[in-house]
């Protein structure tokens, strides 16, 4: 049976923020920035964690659509999906940064006046 679950945009953003809240998950994303990696290789990057713990972190990243998984036989390849981070930047960071820069520019003009 196929179940289609439509998340609201708020739920999607919440999942991304939840995923990014963990320093381990942020490190996993950093590790995947330049190339896809097999799960076993990612596990080697975190010797202090069990394979199960790394898999749980990957599951949270996958649920947030930050990691795309491709299975090739017995191998599980993990790919970074930067689109959700870009969407958050466009929604929150960009507009807030733009406003802050405008305020700083106005302050500079007033000071130099």
Residue pLDDT, tens place only, 16-63: 999 999 999 999 999 999 999 999 999 999 999 999 999 999 999 999
Residue pLDDT, tens place only, 50-106: 999 999 999 999 999 999 999 999 999 999 999 999 999 898 888 788 888 888 888
What is the residue range of 112's domain? 82-113
Counting the structural domains of the chain, the total is 2
The verdict on 104 and 56 lying in the same domain is: no
The verdict on 98 and 73 lying in the same domain is: no
The verdict on 29 and 73 lying in the same domain is: yes
pLDDT of amino acid 3: 47
Each as own residue / partner, the long-range contacts of residues 35-44 (CB below 8 Å, 24 or more positions apart, any chain) are 36/70, 36/77, 36/78, 36/79, 36/80, 37/77, 37/78, 38/75, 38/76, 38/77, 38/78, 39/76, 39/78, 42/78
The verdict on 44 and 91 lying in the same domain is: no
pLDDT of amino acid 51: 96
The verdict on 90 and 42 lying in the same domain is: no
pLDDT of amino acid 48: 97
- What CATH number corresponds to the domain at position 64? 1.10.10.10
The verdict on 19 and 53 lying in the same domain is: yes
The verdict on 71 and 86 lying in the same domain is: no
The verdict on 63 and 86 lying in the same domain is: no
Rounded CA separation 104/61 (Å): 36
């Amino acid at each position: 049976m196929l179940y289609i679950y439509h998340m609201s945009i708020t739920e999607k953003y919440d999942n991304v923020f939840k995923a990014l809240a963990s320093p381990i998950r942020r490190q996993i994303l950093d590790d995947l920035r330049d190339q896809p990696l097999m799960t076993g290789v990612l596990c080697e990057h975190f010797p202090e964690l069990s394979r199960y713990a790394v898999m749980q972190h990957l599951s949270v990243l996958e649920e947030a659509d930050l990691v795309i998984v491709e299975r090739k036989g017995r191998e599980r390849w993990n790919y970074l999906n930067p689109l959700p981070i870009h969407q958050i930047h466009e929604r929150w960071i960009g507009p807030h940064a733009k406003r802050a820069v405008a305020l700083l520019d106005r302050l500079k003009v007033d000071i130099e006046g």
